[in-house]
């Protein structure tokens, strides 16, 4: 079993829950829209309110990418500041040719610090292999 699998099981047992908290910030409440760190603050408020209930957090990367470099910076910071006792699945649905998939895997696991990722299998094994090479991480296909 991977480190991710153990971490997920431990969080589920500790919190007596199988709740996956999705972070899809499509529209921010008014109190977060004008703040420089509104995206981060909004999502972190959800994390803090649900950390004792969740077995995983799942930020959708698209909603952070839509904010450009600042959004990616917010996502990186959010993942770094989440409780380490609750694993993070980056909802990316990636699936591309081998070299591109390798870059995506590096970005998601090494740069963002995610524990797991969602993937799209339609391009076959070559699209998945770079992610699966991270044996301690989780992949949802």
The catalytic site residues sit at 93
**Phi, psi (deg, nearest 5) at residue 16:** 50, 50
Q: Which long-range contacts (CB under 8 A, 24 or more apart) does 51-54 make?
A: 51/82, 51/83, 51/86, 52/15, 53/15, 53/17, 53/19, 53/21, 54/11, 54/15, 54/17, 54/19, 54/20, 54/21, 54/86
Q: How far is residue 48's CA from residue 106's CA, in Å, rounded to a whole number? A: 28
Q: How far is residue 89's CA from residue 79's CA, in Å, rounded to a whole number? A: 10
Residue 94, H or E segment: strand 89-94
């Amino acid at each position: 079993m991977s480190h991710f699998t153990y971490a997920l099981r431990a969080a589920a047992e500790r919190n007596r829950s199988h709740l996956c908290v999705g972070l899809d910030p499509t529209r921010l409440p008014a109190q977060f829209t004008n703040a420089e760190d509104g995206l981060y603050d909004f999502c972190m408020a959800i994390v803090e309110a649900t950390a004792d209930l969740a077995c995983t957090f799942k930020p959708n990367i698209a909603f952070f990418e839509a904010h450009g470099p600042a959004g990616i910076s917010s996502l990186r910071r959010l993942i770094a500041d989440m409780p380490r006792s609750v694993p993070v699945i980056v909802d990316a649905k990636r699936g591309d040719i081998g070299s591109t998939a390798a870059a995506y895997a590096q970005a998601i696991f090494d740069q963002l610090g995610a524990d797991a990722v969602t993937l799209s299998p339609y391009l076959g094994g070559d699209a998945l292999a770079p992610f699966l090479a991270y044996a301690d991480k989780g992949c949802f296909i």
